[in-house]
Amino acid sequence: MFKVHNFSAGPGILPADVLKQASNACVNFENLNLSLLEISHRSKNYENVMDEARSIIKDLFEVGEDYEVIYLGGGASLQFAMVPYNLLSENGTAAYLNTGVWSTKAIKEAKIIGNTNVIASSEDKNFNYIPKDYSIPSDADYLHITSNNTIFGTQIKKFPKSPIPLVCDMSSDIFSRSINANDFTLIYAGAQKNMGPAGCTMVMVKKEALGKTGRKMLSMLDYQVHIKGGSMYNTPPVFPIYVTLLTLKWLKQNGGISWIEKINQQKSNVLYNEIDRNSLFHGTTSTDDRSQMNVCFLLNKPELEVEFDKLWKDANISGIKGHRDVGGYRASLYNALPIESVNVLVEVMKYFENKFT
């Protein structure tokens, strides 16, 4: 089969096996002679999918009965609003760490719901580092952080010890490395970066944190309503949830997070080493905060852009054009990207250097 090395930032690469199983389910789901797309979400077969899709999250995160998992539509962007709506009390304050475009958007929504306090920001240097000198106000309702900044290519390596509930947008590095999930009150992630296709968002929340805002809640924006309904208060995005389940099963069956963590480390080491070594490239972020998922780099001689672009396109590499806010290149190394693809990119970078220096 013709092989494309897919470094897309999102929606991102999925395992080939998952795509195959997903397409089979579109035609004949579990030998029902019906498509998954045309059966009731309340059918036994689909209820099993939903149960498994929820329990596998708790399994991979190693958390207990005190957490609930729900799947929602609306993208991670809807969570920018739902988090403060559900956790920020009427007279309270929410603390935010501003590390990029996505946290900025989360802050914008929280400000509409209530009082916010941006305790640190790296905006002064176009978000090329993670702020570390800040104190967390012990009287705030929660602290919101973004574990991986998909656009700027930075990642929080050491999570803050928070005296208040810790909320994290993990959209672009969920299940890429081992973390202590019990340190978080709420974790959310849009599926389309590292755990599935676009169309569903996973929210895992500690039950005890809910129902405390004093706010009269709209049903569709109320986590408790979705928990009570088992993520079926309304018709859930059935297909994206199914493909997310397949992707997480793929992860689990291959060895889980400890397995993928090693591979992700290898992949990013190989690429960052080449960026540092190669005289025609440099990285865009502070070395300590470099993301293992989204590797951003620039050409030292921008006039060679056309030549470099031709080389990687000829090598069947796809999706490494940088985001418009950073320019240059961004190679996303999500879980499903094999190390062979990174090796191909590195070979192209070496060849490019030999040819043009």
Ligand X SMILES: *Cc1c(COP(=O)(O)O)cnc(C)c1O
Catalytic residues: 102, 169, 193
Of 146 and 185, which CB lies nearer to ligand X in the complex structure? 146
Does residue 224 belong to the site contacting ligand X (CB under 6 A)? no
Does residue 231 belong to the site contacting ligand X (CB under 6 A)? no
DSSP 343: H
Q: How far is the CB of 208 from ligand X (least distance, A)?
A: 25
Smallest CA-to-CA distance from 83 within 177, 230, 189, 234 is with: 189
Does residue 172 belong to the site contacting ligand X (CB under 6 A)? yes
Does residue 171 belong to the site contacting ligand X (CB under 6 A)? yes
Of 109 and 141, which CB lies nearer to ligand X in the complex structure? 109
Rounded Cα distance between 207 and 223, Å, is: 9
Does residue 186 belong to the site contacting ligand X (CB under 6 A)? no
Asked if 296 and 330 count as a contact pair (C-beta separation under 8 A), the reply is: yes
Rounded Cα distance between 266 and 285, Å, is: 19
Q: Per-residue x/- mask for ligand X, residues 2 to 31, rule CB under 6 A?
A: --------x---------------------
Of 170 and 348, which CB lies nearer to ligand X in the complex structure? 170
Can you list the alpha helix ranges (DSSP code H) found in 171-237?
A: 223-228
Asked if 291 and 148 count as a contact pair (C-beta separation under 8 A), the reply is: yes
Q: CA–CA distance from 296 to each of 4, 199, 282 (Å)?
A: 20, 26, 9
Of 57 and 349, which CB lies nearer to ligand X in the complex structure? 57
Q: How far is the CB of 171 from ligand X (least distance, A)?
A: 4
User: Which class for 65: exposed (0-12), middle (13-18), buried (19 or more C-beta within 10 A)?
Assistant: exposed
Does residue 165 belong to the site contacting ligand X (CB under 6 A)? no
**Which 41-100 positions form the footprint of ligand X (CB under 6 A)?**
75-77
- What residues make contact with ligand X under the rule CB under 6 A? 10, 75-77, 102, 146, 150, 169, 171-172, 190, 193
